[in-house]
């Protein structure tokens, strides 16, 4: 497999996580995520992916982070977070930074 790989982490302690990863010999790459609320039903992820594709935004990673009522919260790392927020509009969770 080429001897390398990637893993995605979400943290509430960016400095501590960065320091720990560096101490362990890893090179962290920080990316902004767009936290999004999706209906817990078949096809909702496809709808969001289509909106992002239509806006010319590439999904680099998608990380489910939990539930809110009957919605699934997914944090998207994208090629253009600002454009992703615009394309997804009301699906983006306000007050949550990525």
Q: CA dist 31 to 26, 40, 77, 78, Å?
A: 16, 26, 7, 8
Average pLDDT, the chain: 91
What is the rounded CA–CA span in Å between residue 98 and residue 82?
A: 11
**Domains of the chain from N-terminus onward:** 32-91 (3.30.70.260)
50's CB contacts (< 8 A; 6+ apart) are: none
User: Mind giving me the DSSP string for 29-74?
Assistant: ----EEEEEEESSTTHHHHHHHHHHHTT--EEEEEEEEEETTEEEE
pLDDT tens for the chain, 98 residues: list them.
577 888 888 888 999 999 999 999 999 999 999 999 999 999 999 999 999 999 999 999 999 999 999 999 999 999 999 999 999 999 999 755 44
Distance between CA atoms of residues 47 and 83, nearest Å: 16
Tell me the whole-structure pTM to 2 decimals.
Answer: 0.83
């Amino acid at each position: 497999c080429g001897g390398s790989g990637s893993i995605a982490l979400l943290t509430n302690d960016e400095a501590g996580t960065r320091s720990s990863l560096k101490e362990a010999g890893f090179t962290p790459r920080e990316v902004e995520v767009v936290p999004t609320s999706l209906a817990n039903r078949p096809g909702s992820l496809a709808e969001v992916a289509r909106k992002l594709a239509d806006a010319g935004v590439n999904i680099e990673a998608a990380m489910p982070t939990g539930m809110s009522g009957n919605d699934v919260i997914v944090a998207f790392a994208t090629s253009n977070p600002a454009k992703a927020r615009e394309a997804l509009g009301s699906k983006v969770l306000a007050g949550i930074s990525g």
